[in-house]
Structure 1
Amino acid sequence: MTRFQQAFMLLLALVLAHPASAQEAEYVLGEIVVKSDKPGVEDVTNVAEVTAEDIEMRGATTLNEAIEMLPGVYIRTAADGTPRIDVRGFRTRHIKLLINGTPFQSTYDGQFDPASIPAENIARIVLTKGASSVLYGAGGTAAVINIITKGGEQGMHGSVGVRAGEVDSYLGKASLSGGSEKGFFFGSVSSLNSKAYPISDDFDRNAAQDSDNRENSDRDRDSAFFNGGYNISDSTKLGAVFSYTGGSYGKPPSVITDSKDPFGKTAKYERLEDYSEVGTQFNLRHEFDFPLSLDTAVYANQRNELTKTFKDDTYDAINGKSRSTSSVAGASLRASYDFDVLGVLTTAVNGENQSWDESGFSTNTKGKKTDIGVNQDLQEYSAGLEYTITPIDQVTLVAGGSHVAQTGPESETATDWTYLLGASYRPFEGTTLSANHARKVRFASVRNLFDSASGNPDLEPEVAKHFEIGLTQELPFKTVFSGSIYRIEAQDMIEKVATPTILDPKKETYTNFEEYLFHGFEVGLENTFFDSLWIKTAYNYLDSEDKSDGSERDELQYRPRDTVSLEGKYICPFGTTLYAGLQYVANQYTYNDDATLKKRMDDFTLVDLKLSHAFLEKALSVYAGVNNLFDEDYEESYGFPRPGRTLYCGIDYFF
């Protein structure tokens, strides 16, 4: 037994009561729509929330871990070593990430790294699938994730915590917050160091992966976060947010050693040797004496990366090197007027500059060196209106539209429009029916347009048309049923396609595919009949089709047809809390390079457990847990094994 396993068993023996949990104060100034007690867009769309209590219960340390149990969400890690969030068959680039209502993702490819977003700063996560508000502007063709960070409460509060896991994985964190009638603040720091993650004992070791720990899977992350608010008067409030994250991580290579395997990818040896991400935002809210509210936000985000590629798995001889900077700077103005019985009208104007700068070199398989030099800017603008009305108590209606535009140095100005129509009806107490239809638009990213190898400046915007019907029904014994049926018609989707030339027979270019089709349903049950027991389960069915002319695929790659989640929390009579979570993923496929061969991926089931206890009137919390309890050998992408059984334990102190 290792030293860590001995410490784990000792700490597990101390787990005898429930850890402290309370409703977290929030930073509310960044909300895109002024809060109101009247029904809004969330009443007619598909919205799921994760609270700080949920994050603590699951033992999540990052954004992807916090939301992986939500219906319609599938977390997938492949060759780049970064967890990617898929929603209803769409990829991460189709998700608009907001932190306190302002955009926070790469200008290069429209993606973001959820593993670099610490969970300890999060008060609440709001995931809106499909028909999100038009006031966000372009993007979010799949979903919008809005992270509301923690705020400060009256008095002074703080916490310190340490978590340890197998393969010398450590996380240390501390926070301090406070507040008064004139304002509040919240600040935190954390540091993560992980040498590797273990792979399953059932994995067949080979020349590419011959040890118990995944090759090149280390990760370091340091972060600092601060937000604060000041009440100039009862009607005028100021707010500011600052965040920093920096570190490095390896990108585990493919473990396929058979060069004739049609589904295997050539192993790449890459590391993100250094990255830093800084974000700032300033908010001002003013509420007039009459029912008009104004919100303004100014924000800027920047991510710097140093990436290196190597010739082999010794990670000594450098084969390529890239330094890049992704920057976003923007501002927004939002106004909301309450017409009382005639409804609420909200308008928003947004504008931002996106820039990408990259330099370095790459070397091909024949040893030819090519210099990299890219410096491009894009601008995006939007202006939208959204109207919500409740003509009778049982009915809510929402309609909105937004004009969106993108300009760039080497492409013509692209313009388009989005809209949202939705309704909800509550015929009986405990019953809510909803329906919505939306048209969402995503513009091509800098990478899509200007990448030196695959860019295409003539790309059209991607368009997704959403149709959804939902039902929420309260049942006997404190049980709630939720379900929805959806259909998504995605047009002009941007993907790489083979465009061989005499000089480059393997050349690929970003191209607008004609059409993808996603349709399916989500159903769930949640029960709280017993005060000491909470159970939640969900099943998701997704059918994906490539409707593009000439396509060889009858369904899309890495889109599981069936996913099941089951969670439960039980508080023992003597205070111990037991959490258990299960995920089942089945019926997903991968293709070879030209999509002429299809392979079904192995189905897999993951089980996580966590026990927790609190001492000293809940000031001291002790916990221990295990992820992938049964040491399942599984892959989310072909040739890239994921972590096996992993133990962890920790202590948090609150004051």
Structure 2
Amino acid sequence: MSRIFTLTFVVALFLQIGFSETLEPYTNLNGKVLSQNSNSPIPFANVVLLGSKFFTQTDEKGEFSLQVLETGKFTLEISHVSFLTYKEQIEIQEFTEISLNVKLIEASFEVQEILISDSLSEALNFSKPNKILSRQKILDSGAKSVTEILEEIPGVYIQKSSDGTAKLSFRGSGTERVLVLYDGENFQTASSGTDLSTLSLENLERIEIYKGNSSAQFGSGAIGGAINLVPLKKIRKNEIGTSFSAGSFSTFQNRNFVSLKGKIPTYFAFSEGFSKGDFAYTEQVGDGEFRAKRKRNERKQFSGFVSVKKEFTNEFSASVFSDIFYRDKEIPKLVAESEKLLSEEEKNFSGKIELTQKIGQKEFRLGFGSNFLSSDFSQKTNPFYDSKTETQNLFTTFNFQNKKFRIGSKFFAETQTTESKTTFSTIDVFEKRESKRKILSVFGNRKFTFSKFDIFLNGRADKVFDKGKNSSGTFYSAKIQNFYKINEALTFQFSAGKGFRLPEFSSLFLESDFQAEGNENLEPEESFDFEFGAELNFAKSGGIFNSELTFFYSKIDEIIVWRRNLYNRYSPVNDEKAFSRGFETSFSAGFFEQKLKFESSYTYNLATNETDEPNKKGKILPNRPKHQANFGFSVEQLGLRFRSKTQFVSERFETESNQDKVAVHDSGLDNYIKTDFSLSKKYEFSSWNFEVSCFLENAFDEEYANLAFSPSSGRSWRIEVEFRK
């Protein structure tokens, strides 16, 4: 009897469950995911209905089927590590069926979460970046500056100084060997690197990161790599936003943007900020002994950006963008018990006009642009010193491309004028210097596609007109990239290239004084490098995993270094050669529809001078850490997101002797570990999105130095409120 009762209960329960499920309203969401290039199916692509608990993967035929037990508006996201992420708004209704055929655009090695834009085909079809950070990736990171988001990339070292500036180095290249480009154009002046702290994230569509020799793509100065900041061009919707932040050291910042989608799509953004800072000055405590101390300085800045695009026909369009930046800062210092208050004012304006004509599968692009940079430097105590440097770049570009290749030319002219006045008591000493450089470039890119191979060839010739004795002439650059896809999860890559770097204006033409002088006899640097690595992507047990490993090697001949000459002045000279070699690896994992993420990376880099002289050979080059590591994780639930990031940087040396006493360190700059936390919460009110974020930086108040006499900022906090509609 009990057995009959038990059996009856089980059958009834089974029927009840089955009957209940049949009454549950559901929608069949199915489709097929194909490659836009080859029209072949894409297996193991991730299909996620954002904002719900439903997700799946495509099968070996690229097909997927998802039974959705909820109704409403959702965002469908389809992603694969080898393709650009696809997003579409869909509405789920009861007892309906939705069928989709989606084609994904093929992306590059290490590309993740990329949004589609007008110029993406040009960027990816003929030259592959090592990594691309999409606008969505930038927004999700919580970073508020280019510096913050680049610090997490393997092989990237940010060199910060006491006045708040930040410069970029890849794999031990040095800051002066990495180009910072804006929409593919070199707005960097012929000086020692671009200050990343002046660059905003607000107006960026994406950031393209090119590690290793990139002269074949971008010309002189890119032998260590390049980053390309691609501004917003395509307006997808009407949107308005504003944010306010305040924090430690009387820091305040306001950011605003307006996006208008109409007959003439327009994007406008501007920001302003002020900070008393927490940087450094030096104090002499004995004969030849110095120590670094923190002292606040004041800094205010303003930036603005405007982008306009007009499509006259389906084939012809014009794009215009302009970017302005202003910063004023004061730097207090103590040198030999005499305080010298330094101030610096920077102004920067850049603009570009681009015309695009399409004829079938062919495309012609003509661009014009200019960049103007002004820097006023003043020392307000005896001896009084004032200098003003103005740099202006003018360029014009022409590109032709189809599906197989791209060719183009560019003319680039740069003029730099420096005026200075030094006052000793009642005596004024005036100096003026003007430097000019013109470069005519011809370049080409070609892509070859085989069954599992993609090969990219890049070549470039630059004709340089310069008054430097050895820096004029014709220079050639070349690069080959090879990507071999074993299967949908595993990809191998190899690249090799050669390039050059012209001496900076200050290295060539610096007027002699009691401290330093230029050297008009400098030879351009020449480099050769290669790298090879692999990337593995797979999904298992509800998690999405990514792992990368890359080995690299670089050689620079005629490397330019500064050292004391016979007159006891610092002057640049050419050494025979320098090597940089090592590897970088990273691992990331995401679970519960990416609500829980872990990211880690490690870079080993040995950068040494290999000139055949006993006091130089094997010495580590200045400001090149051997070891760098990052670890972070984020948790998101119910609109609340917590993020932690820890960075480790090993010991560095300030000079190539590797033994100089710097600040309180006997042999260089000590290693350090820095930890940051952030917490944010999102709200929705009608059509407004509202987010509150809290940031705690250098949470454990770690004392460390990025440069000699430049201790880091201490523990600091920031609160930000953002509105979007």
Task: Decide: shared fold, TM above 0.5.
Answer: yes
Change (3 A) 1:464 1:251: farther
Q: Residues 369-409 of structure 1, C-alpha deviation per residue, up to 9 Å, x if partnerless?
A: 642211121111211122111022x1011222211121124
**Contact kept in structure 2, 1:29 and 1:284, CA below 8 Å:** no
Aligned partner of 1:231 in structure 2 is 311
2:680 aligned partner = 612
Counterpart residue number, 1:156: 238
Rounded Cα–Cα distance in structure 1 between residues aligned with 2:188 and 2:333: 25
Task: Give how far 1:135 is off.
Answer: 3.6
- Take 1:153 and 1:348, find their aligned partners in 2: how far apart are those partners? 27
Match status 1:542 vs 2:602: no
Show structure 2 runs of 5+ residues with no match: 1-74, 78-86, 88-112
Cα offset for 1:67? 1.1
Which of 322, 325, 336 is matched with 1:242 structurally? Answer: 322
Instruction: Report if aligned partners of 2:174, 2:624 keep a CA contact under 8 Å in 1.
Output: no
The structure-2 alpha-carbon separation of the partners of 1:335 and 1:270, relative to structure 1 and needing over 3 Å to count, comes to farther
Superposed, which structure 2 residues align to 1:428-447 within 5 Å?
A: 428-447=487-506
1:224-279 CA distance string (max 9 Å, x none) = 1101111111111110011111121234647xx8x8xxxxxx99946343221000
Question: Can you list the C-alpha shifts for 1:112-169, whole angstroms capped at 9, x where unaligned?
Answer: 2211112222231111101437242322111111111234534421101100011110
Quote the Cα distance in structure 2 between the aligned partners of 1:551 and 1:375.
Answer: 39
CA contact (8 A) 1:28 1:100 kept: no
Q: Structure 1's 35 and 496: CA in aligned 2 closer, same or farther, altered over 3 A?
A: closer
The question of 1:603 aligning with 2:689 is answered no
Question: How far does residue 217 in structure 1 lie from its aligned partner after superposition?
Answer: 2.9
3-state SS of the aligned residue for 1:619? strand
How far apart are 1:358 and its partner, in Å?
Answer: 1.0
Aligned residue in 1 for 2:203: 121
Distance 1:445 1:229, change over 3 A: same
1:569–1:252: structure 2 CA closer, same or farther, 3 Å change rule?
Answer: farther
Query: Is the contact made by 1:30 and 1:297 (CA closer than 8 Å) also made in structure 2?
Result: no
2:596 alignment partner in structure 1: 533
Give the 3 Å change call, closer, same or farther, for CA 593–430 of structure 1 in structure 2: closer
Q: How does 1:568-607 map to 2 (within 5 A)?
A: 568-572=633-637, 574-591=638-655, 599-607=667-675
8 Å CA contact 2:221–2:501 kept in 1: the answer is yes
The alignment status of 1:466 with 2:516, answered yes or no, reads no
Number of residue equivalences: 597
| Superposed CA offset, 1:471-514 (max 9, x none) | 0012444211111000000111222222223xxxx222221221
Deviates more, 1:110-119 or 1:345-354: 110-119
Answer with 1 or 2: which has the greater Rg: 2
The aligned residue for residue 369 of structure 2 is 299
Aligned to 2:459: 401
Task: Judge conservation of contact 1:25–1:152 (CA < 8 Å) in 2.
Answer: no
CA distance in 2, matches of 1:613, 1:440: 47
Partner residue, 1:356: 416
- Indicate the residue corresponding to 2:400 in structure 1: 335
Q: Is the 8 A contact 2:215 2:477 kept in 1?
A: no
8 Å contact kept, 1:605–1:632: yes
Point out where structure 1 has 5 or more consecutive residues left out of the alignment.
Answer: 1-20, 260-265, 312-316, 339-343
Verify the 8 A CA contact 2:639 2:683 in the aligned structure 1.
no
In structure 2, the partner of 1:552 is 615
Change (3 A) 1:158 1:649: same
1:462–1:490 Cα contact (<8 Å) kept: yes
Deviations 1:184-227 (A, max 9, x none): 2110111010012278xxx9998999999x42532111111101
- What percentage of aligned pairs have identical amino acids? 17
SS of match in other structure, 2:261? strand
**Structure-to-structure mapping, 1:89-104, within 5 angstroms:** 89-104=172-187
The structure whose RCO (Cα within 8 Å, separation 6+) is larger is 1
TM-score by length of 1: 0.84
Corresponding residue to 1:191 among 251, 269, 272: 272
Matching of residue 279 in structure 1 with residue 344 in structure 2: no
Q: CA RMSD in A?
A: 3.1
- Structure 2 CA distance for aligned equivalents of residues 620 and 157 of structure 1: 13
TM-score (norm 2): 0.77
Corresponding residue for residue 554 of structure 2:
488
CA distance in 1 between counterparts of 2:158 and 2:244 reads 26
Is the Cα–Cα contact under 8 Å of residues 26 and 148 in structure 1 kept in the other structure?
A: no
Compare 491-500 and 300-309 and name the one that shifted more: 491-500
Greater strand content: 2
